Structures are given as structure tokens and as C-alpha cells.
Structure 1
């Protein structure tokens, strides 16, 4: 997709704040500081539209970014935030679960993991939860530029085995620094939102 326009729209804490223009939504889930903001910025070819926080747990809402008036990226609060209270974690969990279960505009969840390390318990729990509720998911293994190319297959194998990855899901190796995987990930996203198709014939599976 050629991105000609992108903008931050709203930080939402519940359905009352969600946009009501019915555009497709692509959600990003992952642990704090895994690189979700950098991934969004690389996809839309902007340096600082999505602001990466130096403080884990700083993002406490669903941050909506509109792209080309075609879709939204919805950046979730990062999980695994050590400095956030249990009550706040529970509140975030309820907010995210309600969104994932009830949001009709949701077309795909990008589960962002750090390719350098085996997926965390939180990553595994999120993947299993999405699978249980049949939510569409694509695993994005980022920070590939931090690993020698010769070791990529080994690290991808560890990611898949640790998650219990299902072959009918997509997995894209990505680097926000070099742009590796950008075109491939856009292809996955476009296939989910029916880009280029008549909307009445857009894929629903």
C-alpha cells in the first residue's frame, strides 16, 4: 500500500471514544518496548507519528492512527509492564478483551514479538487467547536486523515452537530499522481488509 496520508486520531479508553466511520482496524499487541510504535512508523513511512515511550506501560489507552482514510492501526497498551499496578493491569486487560471480542471493525491482530528472544509467557497467553476466540492474527517477529542473517531460521523456529504457531496463521519477519518485511506485512494487511476489491466481495475469512 502506498501511504499518502496518516494521522493520530484519538486515545480511546472504551467504545464511546472509538471512531464511528467503520473503517477496518488492525490492532497491534505485544509486550512493552517490543517496537510496536516503530513498526507503525515504518509501515506508514513516518518517523515519529507513533511515539515510542521510554517508560514501559506509558501507553494506557488504545491509540488510533488513520491511514489514507482506508484503515486504522490501533496500538494496544504493552503488556508485561513491571511498574504498573495490578489494578491497572486488570483494567487494561478488560479494555483490550472487550475490544477484541466485540469490535466488528477489527480485521487483524498483529502480535509483535522480539525475534531475538523466545516469546514470553504473556506472548504465549495472547496467542493462545486469540486462537481460542478465533481472532485473525499475524505474528510479526521484529528486530531482525539485530540478528545475523545466518541465524534467522533458528530464531524463527524458536518463535514458532514456543508459541505453538499454527500454519494457517501468517508470520512476518520484520525490521523497523531496515524495512525488512514491510511489503510482505502490507500484503497480509491488504488481504484482510480487501484492499483493491469491491467491498461486497472482500474476504471474510
Structure 2
């Protein structure tokens, strides 16, 4: 991406961003009038922190103390007039979650992924310190089955030694190649240092403007 495009993406994502609504069920979703970019990931992967960094906010998305606490689709309007919506999906990782909560999560998320015509891209967040886990692979298969194009986004890249990060990226890239809906470009990001944030913003803008 060139510098002008990157600046356009930065201005959009750090401009007007406002919370629209929380949808505990699909019937509460807003009318599908603008492109949407969804963010998914295990609980405590750093999803809220990444969303805050992308939008230049401190408290756009709340980082929950209790993993898996958010069980709704939180939706944010971006732009004035609105040009896209960011969808903060419930974190997964159900070590302490009741079965009914897990089933509800699957129903809402699967329904959203399969039936949302304006969903342009899903960003699936992976903790750089831990790499892909079985539950991440399960969600990747869900995205493949829904034919939803998605990127893998490594978070907390600053917490890993460069050599180890390189190895993890290589492993994740090789595995991503086996998934038909997974975009080949993998992002390594850090909300602490800003690593990869500009590239991710540009990718979001590209996803919503590509013909």
C-alpha cells in the first residue's frame, strides 16, 4: 500500500468512531447498508486493545477482566457519514463457560458469518506467544465453511523474541495455506509499539473498497 492510501486509512479509522449497538441475537443487527469488518479471537488475545489502537482510542472497546465475558456482537460505526462498521465478536475460549453459553456463542457467530452479505473480511486474532491452538483451528474451519475471507492477525508481537516470532509466523503461514478462505497475508501486530497497525488499517480500507 502507498503512503497516501495508508494515510487515508488512518484518517478513516481514527476519525469518527462511535458505538452503535450490542446484538445478543441476529435479529438485533443493524440493516446491512455498509461494509463490515469483524474481529474474532480467543479470550485474552488482546482484541479490545487492538481495536483501541486501530481507532486511536483508549476505551473504544473494553478489555474485560473476566475472559469470555462479552457474549454479544458489539458494533461500531466508522466515518462521517458512516463508511464501514467494525464488529467486535465475542471472545472464545470456554474453559469456565457453561455449555449453554458456548452453544449461544456458536449460534450467534455462525449465523452472523454465514448470513451477513456486507461482511467483507474477518480478522482472526492469534496470540503470538502461543501460536495456533485447536480452538483457533476450529474457528478457521467455521470460516472456511461459511466462505468468509479472513486474515490471521498475530497480537502481542512485542512480547516474543524476533527469532521465535519468525518461527511462529512461518508455522502459522504454512498452516493458513491449507485453509481455502484464509488470506495468505499474515499480520504481526503490537498495540504497545504500534507494529503492524498501519498495515492492518490499510488492509481494512482495501477490503471495503476493493471491487
Provide TM-score, normalisation by structure 1: 0.89
Secondary structure of the corresponding residue to residue 63 of structure 2: coil
Who is 2:95 aligned against? 82
Match for 2:115 among 77, 102, 112? 102
**1:184 is aligned to 2:199:** yes
Per-residue CA deviations over 1:91-125 (Å, capped at 9, x if unaligned) read 11011000000011111000000011121111011
Farther-moved stretch of structure 1 (168-177 vs 48-57): 168-177
Distance 2:27 2:112 in 1: 12
1:139 deviation in Å? Answer: 0.6
Match for 2:158 among 145, 149, 153? 145
Q: Is the 8 A contact 1:27 1:73 kept in 2?
A: yes
Q: Is the 8 A contact 1:25 1:108 kept in 2?
A: yes
Superposed counterparts of 1:61-72, under 5 Å:
61-68=72-79, 69-72=82-85
**1:24 is aligned to 2:24:** no
Secondary structure of the corresponding residue to residue 151 of structure 2: strand
CA root-mean-square deviation: 1.7
Distance 2:106 2:38 in 1: 15
Question: What are structure 1's unaligned runs of at least 5 residues?
Answer: 195-201
Match for 1:126 among 136, 139, 147? 139
Structure 1 pair 99–26 and aligned structure 2 pair: CA distance change class (3 A): same
Q: Is the 8 A contact 1:115 1:159 kept in 2?
A: no
Distance 1:114 1:165 in 2: 20
Secondary structure of the corresponding residue to residue 190 of structure 2: coil
Q: Is the 8 A contact 1:29 1:109 kept in 2?
A: yes
Distance 2:28 2:16 in 1: 22
Who is 1:115 aligned against? 128
Who is 2:47 aligned against? 36
Q: Is the 8 A contact 1:44 1:67 kept in 2?
A: no
1:164 deviation in Å? Answer: 5.2
1:15 deviation in Å? Answer: 2.9
Q: Is the 8 A contact 2:152 2:187 kept in 1?
A: yes
Q: Is the 8 A contact 1:30 1:79 kept in 2?
A: yes
Distance 2:33 2:59 in 1: 26
Structure 1 pair 168–39 and aligned structure 2 pair: CA distance change class (3 A): closer
Who is 1:197 aligned against? none
